[in-house]
Amino acid sequence: MRIDPAGWPFITGPLAPAALLAAGGRATGRRWPRLAAWPFLGLSAYMALFFRDPDRRCDSTPAAADEVLSPADGVVMVAGEPQEGVAPDGEWQQISVFLSVVDVHVNRSPYRGEVVESSYRKGSFLAAYRRESAHRNERSEIWLRDGDRTVVFRQIVGVLARRIVTRTGPGQHLATGERMGLMKFGSRMDVFVPPECEITVTKGQRVRGGESVIARWPATR
């Protein structure tokens, strides 16, 4: 299983005290240092699970031209009309995905095209499932354009997620489902598509980043 590079400090960090405790237990013949090492080993194992980066179908089979894919693993919180005061200016539909602390947190581009705008805004760290987190929490916003098609998506931090990693910027071209960053610990992602798109998911549905189709453009090309 691939591990995202951002995860290695979190994975290796707990191993140092675990090794010291285990070595101390062997040297003294005492049992408690070896027992005390296990929580650190468990923490390291969890970090490896959190920062896992599995391949998805889009990595081997390109998505259809009209498909918008989920940018993350999680549960759909919003599907359809945008939350008040959340969407960018203009007419949009909103799909929001909540990521728990056990979901894959590597983020993927929901659609293809050129990154024409990228911004980062500091903010609060409210629970990502709360409605107001969409406009009050710290977030990164990316605008993708492919011809006359535009998709906007956001990485939004939560209570535990205190850092957004965005590995793309203006001028870069992204493929549908391409890895573009991650959020460290529980968080949410919002995707905004124009009214002419058909929303293909419902609130409460589980989705997989890079695989689940969350919207479709009209088949005009």
Catalytic positions are 187
User: What is the total residue count of the chain?
Assistant: 221
Closest by alpha carbon to 67, among 154, 156, 188, 151? 151
DSSP 137: B
Sign of torsion over alpha carbons 11, 12, 13, 14: positive
Place of tokens 């489902």: 177
Distance CA 103, CA 72 (A): 9
- Other Cβ atoms closer than 10 A to 1: 9
Closest by alpha carbon to 157, among 142, 177, 140, 169? 140
